[in-house]
């Protein structure tokens, strides 16, 4: 019960944010607006961190009406994550990179709390929150000093251990559907309204509607495969961040990169994480002054350290690296 109360306290915290509309701003906030928002919400964000120190899990109810109610909880949770991300950005702007790294871990803890004990709908919210954390943390992890880089690496592994596996969530989701007699009706994204859709231009809105509808119309097994790939992508990025942070710490202390991952344990990493797509070690290449750590992605096709956007990784035409979001459709980088 205490864990469920923790989750509900997170929802309440997200709903109590002041001036939350600023979180949907499409432009970069000025230092003044950022400071004003964070000052107004300091107590809420501090309270969020205190809540996350306690057990938190989704208060699952075996009632068909629960799913619709739960769908509304995604917004306050994402708003909490976005608020923490603004706090991370402020720390980055001030040059307080250790604090920024710590906030990244806070957001990942929020993601874990958002999926633990829940259904697939909760896992999808958690994946979005993880994306926020990963994007903020990967921007600063290569600039951390050695002790801070190692602390980040160890913290990421702790988050990994506490992250509820997607397969367990799927099993619970199937059990829930059977217990309540739930029948999943395909949503009509072509006519549905959602927050923010009115701000899109007509062409973008139509494209987005068609994309969402195509996913919604997938057979159940194909949809689960797609969702599992997204979950494994986040898990791979989290583990790649841990490895890169440990490599940064090793290089700072030794003047070179290790020849293999095993050298990192146990001083820099308590254990060497494995690629969720291949169940083997991540691919690792080094030169005298640089390194590349990556996953070949769902296809297992190693592109030799040639990185690209997710759709190219899915096609086996690029490798998955922590800077995934930087790659546009026409951009790829090779490390040799």
For residues 119 and 207, membership in a common domain is answered with no
**pLDDT tens string 201-217:** 676 667 666 666 676 66
227 within some domain: yes
Tell me how many domains the chain contains: 3
Average pLDDT score over residue span 28-38? 92
Please tell me the distance from the alpha carbon of residue 192 to that of residue 210, in angstroms, as a whole number. Answer: 12
For the segment 252-269, the average pLDDT, to the nearest whole number, is 93
Assess whether 74 and 104 both reside in one domain: yes
* Whether residues 225 and 213 fall in one domain: no
What pLDDT was estimated at residue 212? 61
266: cis peptide before it, omega within 30°? yes
- Residue 106 shares a structural domain with residue 230: yes
Higher confidence at residue 236 or residue 226?
236
Q: Is the dihedral of CA 264, 265, 266, 272 positive or negative?
A: positive
Q: What is the pLDDT of residues 228-257, one digit of tens each?
A: 999 999 999 999 999 999 999 999 989 999
The model scores a pTM over 0.85: yes
d(Cα 120, Cα 108) in Å, to the nearest integer? 18
Whether 264 is in a domain gets the answer no
Give a yes or no: residue 269 inside a domain: no
pLDDT at 331: 43
Q: Are 54 and 163 in a shared domain?
A: yes
Co-location of 202 and 320 in the same domain? no
Write phi, then psi, for 26 (nearest 5 degrees). Answer: -90, -10
Averaged pLDDT for residues 272-291:
92
- Note whether 176 and 62 are within 8 A (CB): yes
Structural domain that includes position 125 = 2-184+220-259
Within a domain: 249:
yes
Asked if 45 and 114 sit in the same domain, the reply is yes
Arithmetic mean of pLDDT, 50-69: 91
Q: Alpha carbon 125 to chain centroid distance?
A: 9
Are both 137 and 236 inside the same structural domain?
A: yes
Number of alpha carbons in the 13 Å side-chain half-sphere of residue 142 = 9
Confidence band of 334 (pLDDT split at 50, 70, 90): very low
Same domain for 180 and 68: yes
What pLDDT, on the 0 to 100 scale, is given for residue 24?
84
Whether 267 maps to a domain, the answer reads no
Q: Are residues 128 and 207 in the same domain?
A: no
Residue pLDDT, tens place only, 150-201: 999 999 999 999 999 999 999 999 999 999 987 766 656 566 565 555 555 6
Q: Is residue 44 part of a domain?
A: yes
Q: Is residue 266 part of a domain?
A: no
Which pLDDT score is estimated for 182? 78
Neighbours of 272 (CB within 10 A): 20
């Amino acid at each position: 019960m205490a864990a469920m109360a923790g989750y509900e306290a997170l929802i309440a915290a997200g709903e109590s944010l002041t001036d939350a509309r600023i979180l949907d701003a499409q432009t970069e906030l000025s230092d003044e607006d950022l400071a004003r928002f964070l000052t107004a919400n300091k107590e809420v964000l501090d309270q969020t961190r205190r809540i996350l120190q306690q057990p938190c899990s989704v208060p699952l109810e075996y009632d068909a009406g629960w799913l619709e109610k739960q769908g509304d909880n995604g917004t306050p949770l994402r708003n909490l994550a976005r608020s923490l991300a603004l706090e991370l950005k402020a720390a980055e702007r001030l040059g307080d990179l250790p604090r920024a790294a710590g906030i990244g871990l806070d957001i990942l803890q929020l993601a874990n709390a958002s999926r633990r004990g829940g259904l697939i709908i909760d896992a999808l919210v958690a994946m979005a929150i993880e994306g926020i954390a990963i994007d903020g943390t990967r921007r600063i992890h290569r600039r951390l000093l050695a002790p801070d880089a190692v602390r980040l690496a160890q913290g990421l592994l702790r988050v990994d251990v506490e992250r509820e596996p997607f397969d367990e969530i799927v099993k619970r989701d199937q059990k829930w559907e059977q217990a309540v007699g739930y029948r999943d009706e395909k949503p009509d994204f072509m006519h549905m309204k959602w927050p923010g859709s009115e701000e899109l231009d007509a062409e973008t809105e139509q494209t987005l509607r068609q994309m969402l509808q195509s996913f919604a119309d997938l057979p159940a097994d194909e949809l689960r495969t797609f969702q599992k790939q997204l979950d494994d992508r986040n898990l791979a990025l989290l583990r790649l961040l841990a490895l890169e942070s440990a490599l940064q710490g090793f290089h700072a202390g030794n003047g070179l990169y290790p020849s293999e991952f095993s050298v990192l344990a146990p001083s820099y990493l308590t254990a060497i994480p494995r690629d969720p797509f291949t169940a083997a070690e991540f691919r690792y290449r080094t030169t005298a002054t640089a390194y590349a750590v990556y996953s070949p992605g769902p296809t297992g096709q190693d592109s030799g350290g040639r990185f690209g956007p997710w759709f190219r990784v899915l096609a086996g035409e690029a490798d998955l690296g922590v800077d995934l979001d930087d790659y546009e459709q026409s951009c790829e980088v090779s490390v040799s």
